[in-house]
Amino acid sequence: MKMLSCDVAVIGAGTAGLAASAAAAADGAQVLLIEGGEPGTTCARSGCMPSKLLIAAATAAHCAGTSSVFGIQTAPLRIDGRAVMTRVRAERDRFVRSVLQSYQRIPESQRLVGTAQFIAPGRLQVGDGVQVTAKAIVIATGAYSAVPAMFDAVADCVLTHETLFERVMLPGSVAVVGAGPLGLELGQALHRLGVRTAIFDRGDRIGGLISDDLNASAARIYAASLNLRLGVELQAEPLAAGLRLHWQGPQQRGSADFEHLLIAAGRRPKLQPLALHNAGIALDAHGVPVYDRATLRCGDSAVFIAGDCNHDRPLLHEAADEGTIAGRNAAACPSGVQAHPRRVPLAITFSDPQIAIVGDVVTPGHVAGRVDFADQGRARVMNANRGGLKLYGDPADGRLAGAEMVGPAAEHLGHLLAWAVQQRQSVRSLLDMPFYHPTLEEGVRTALRDLCAQMPPSISSGYVQRVFGAGG
């Protein structure tokens, strides 16, 4: 048995793990990075990047197929599914190679390959032949697609985002389970690429939207072009080729045959191999370590948890931040552990129209301002005049608190609004900013004006609304 010791052991070499390793090493710790699977991030290999490559192809097909609204006629559209997937996989592999270069730059003496499990607090067994003793340990093992047991009978037909992008051809038909960000993005992209697609969800929410009125608007918009079935229970039975899916809800029931079932109904922390019962830390009802969100420390132990495996904010920029926080605190443990400020929450769904959720959209007592993109000037110019924006403000101080949007360029407007929320900008100060004409940002100004009007007179009085041009 080979015995190793280090200051900080990091389990997992994804986004959070690489960030934790770099942060701990930068603070002078002796670090050992342990990877039990394929190195490389979820984002590059099976998440953000390949999904956006598929969406880019779908957008090109959609634009070609709908250009007649601008008076532009195209030849009959032909989609080469093999060529689509060839580009997706080739560009995906390029992104993965870039991530692997970061991993491979870490000295071999600071890397260890093998599945890690706790054998005691501060001690790990890695594979069959190595034991590691560490002063502090960072868990950064990521997450995996959760496939409900109800689909075991059709397991051979199941796809997840981990397997979809390994295909050399687009499937002929797919039933997507889950209308959250991932299911909506992939379902719409496959539909636009000529795949017969239906999207199912037992709930009634689209893309994570919280506002009832925006969610209802989104459901109408997407249902106009997609086979979208919300509020339904599902049953699947195997066929000689593919599966038959039955659905039933309060106002609908039916069945249809599909080649594949694409599961996009959430991801589970990848914690099972770790034997956390030996780690000396408390676990919640789902087996996830109980931890402090500001320090990422598990109780008063020398264990920290970062990235998708803590089931908090499963996004790349959050995983990188959490890895840095966990790595620095692990290096400083026990006496130098500090709470670190977090960025304003920002979530984006790359559907069409896009969805963005920013900051605090749930606190009671906040007031809201709105804009409908149906008559927004630049949106109409672009033939993208669908959806709306809802801004939330704190009437106590006039500060912008959050935003929800389904509409054009939400990925960009969402960033603009997230920056404003993080800087604690007031509605009045934002209305003093320049708004060029004609732009989608003028829609933000319309919503800000409406939000200002909902504020108490002590905040809203004295504002002079100046209107120039048309369609803002």
Per-residue burial over 116-126, b if 16 or more Cβ lie within 10 Å, else e, is bbbeeebbbbb
Please indicate if the annotation marks 228 as binding a ligand.
Answer: no
**Structure confidence at residue 463 (pLDDT):** 72
28: left (phi over 0), alpha (psi -120 to 50) or beta: left
**Structure confidence at residue 460 (pLDDT):** 87
Regions of the chain with pLDDT less than 70: 464-472
Q: H or E stretch including 20?
A: helix 15-26
Q: H or E stretch including 329?
A: helix 316-332
Question: How far apart (Å, rounded) are the C-alpha atoms in residues 422 and 401?
Answer: 9
Please indicate if the annotation marks 181 as binding a ligand.
Answer: yes
DSSP letters spanning 379-408: HHHTT----EEEEEEETTTTEEEEEEEEET
> Is there a contact between 470 and 445 (Cβ–Cβ < 8 Å)?
no
**Structure confidence at residue 455 (pLDDT):** 96
Q: H or E stretch including 9?
A: strand 2-11
- What is the tens place of the pLDDT at every residue in 290-327? 999 999 999 999 999 999 999 999 999 999 999 999 99
47: exposed, middle or buried (Cβ count in 10 Å: 0-12, 13-18, 19+): buried
Domains of the chain by start residue, with CATH: 2-144+268-332 (3.50.50.60), 149-265 (3.50.50.60), 346-460 (3.30.390.30)
Q: What is the greatest pairwise CA distance in the chain?
A: 77
For helices 81-104 and 48-65, the axis angle rounded to 10 degrees is 150
**Structure confidence at residue 467 (pLDDT):** 52
Please indicate if the annotation marks 462 as binding a ligand.
Answer: no
Tokens matching residue 193: 């690429």
**Structure confidence at residue 48 (pLDDT):** 95
Per-residue burial over 273-312, b if 16 or more Cβ lie within 10 Å, else e, is ebebeebebeeeeeebbebeeebbbbeebbbbbbbbbbbb
Q: Alpha-carbon torsion 195, 196, 201, 205, what sign?
A: positive
Residue 225 is classified by DSSP as T
DSSP letters spanning 101-130: HHHHTS-GGGEEES-EEEEETTEEEETTTE
Please indicate if the annotation marks 183 as binding a ligand.
Answer: yes
The alpha carbon torsion through 117, 339, 334, 31 (nearest 10 deg) reads 50
**Structure confidence at residue 40 (pLDDT):** 79
Please indicate if the annotation marks 178 as binding a ligand.
Answer: yes
Residues tagged active-site? 437
> Is there a contact between 211 and 404 (Cβ–Cβ < 8 Å)?
yes
372 Cβ neighbours under 8 A, 6+ residues apart: 388
Residue 66 is classified by DSSP as T
**Structure confidence at residue 385 (pLDDT):** 98
**Structure confidence at residue 347 (pLDDT):** 98
- What is the tens place of the pLDDT at every residue in 433-463? 999 999 999 999 999 999 999 999 989 887 7
Residue whose tokens read 């002929």: 172
Please indicate if the annotation marks 36 as binding a ligand.
Answer: no
